[in-house]
Amino acid sequence: MARRQMEVPNEVAAELAGSQDRMLRELERQLDCEVFLRGNVLTLDGDAEAVAAGATVVRELSTLVERGHDIGPATLESVTRVLHHSQSPTSVLEDVVWRHRNLRVAPKSVNQKHYVDAIRQNTVTFGIGPAGTGKTFLAIAMAVSALSRREVNRIILTRPAVEAGERLGFLPGDLMAKVDPYLRPLFDALNDMLDPERVTAHLEKGVIEVAPLAFMRGRTLNDAFVILDEAQNTSPEQMKMFLTRLGFGSKMVVNGDISQIDLPREQRSGLVEVGEILRGVEGVGVVHFGHDDVVRHKIVQRIVQAYAEHAERAAPGIRPAQSRRG
């Protein structure tokens, strides 16, 4: 057993204590050692390795608090996750992509940081990984930021309207009403980034366009930030059609989860195939996310991991791209 005492600034002690020592208990859970706070002296008790790791986390948290960050369970989890990859949490968590009112969008994991950097550095970026890893949210934040800096003139958000149990023809309304459920996650993210009135105005003026993938055929998209979501449900032909819409002054981001394919079993996913075709092409970046990058509720990480382990046990060596939603 080892013990380490650290003196922390008063504002850091106040943040760590929180309501009814909630943050201290969360700190214990994350660090796997006992944590005590008396005044502004923090004591860590446990295995030497856990105590040493805990001291590093506390120092990083102190730096973040001193720079104006609010500390909560999500921040603590992000810090421990980033440190696990031997990276500096401040260099990741302070890369703010977009600010709007109380919203502050920044990477919460090393892979999210790689993803943001890849979008900045490449013309076309692929984000591949499970739900909850922030692919769509970060991409839309990058798009809104680029629009605000006038790096692009418009944002185009699209996804394939692939049926998953309920046929479009049986849904009420006109075509846009039928595809609205498929596009709703994109609208939700937009409304998080901007005031609803501004989103409506941009949509009416065509500055922001949200449309099914089928609407992209025959177009050339210049000076635009284009995001294709749920790309695992594109056919190879649709993927080629989409990528060749790229015009001058534009960026493309293609996101998807190859373990969640709704295409017919005999249909190959365009997202799977494109990785083989574009490997090594200059100006194209690919970032793979794993269950450790899931930034939703902790139970979502466990569910994603459990499904991945089950798939491996059921068919070892078979690529998850061949699976479908249950």
pLDDT tens for 67-93 read 666 666 667 777 777 776 666 666 776
User: Does the pTM of the predicted model rise above 0.85?
Assistant: no
The CA–CA distances, whole Å, from 237 to 13, 126, 138, 162, 274 equal 57, 17, 27, 15, 10
How far, in Å, CA of 59 to CA of 72, rounded?
15
287-311 pLDDT, tens per residue?
998 876 776 655 766 787 788 788 7
Domain borders along the chain are 2-93, 111-322
Strand 34-38 to 41-46 pairing: antiparallel
In this prediction, residue 207 carries a pLDDT of 97
In terms of C-beta density within 10 A (0-12 exposed, 13-18 middle, 19 or more buried), how is residue 56 classed? middle
Check residue 316 and give its pLDDT: 58
Which CATH architecture group holds 111-322? 3-Layer(aba) Sandwich (3.40)
- For the domain made up of 2-93, give the CATH fold: Ribosomal Protein S8; Chain: A, domain 1 (3.30.1370)
Give residue 257's pLDDT band: very low, low, confident or very high (50, 70, 90).
very high
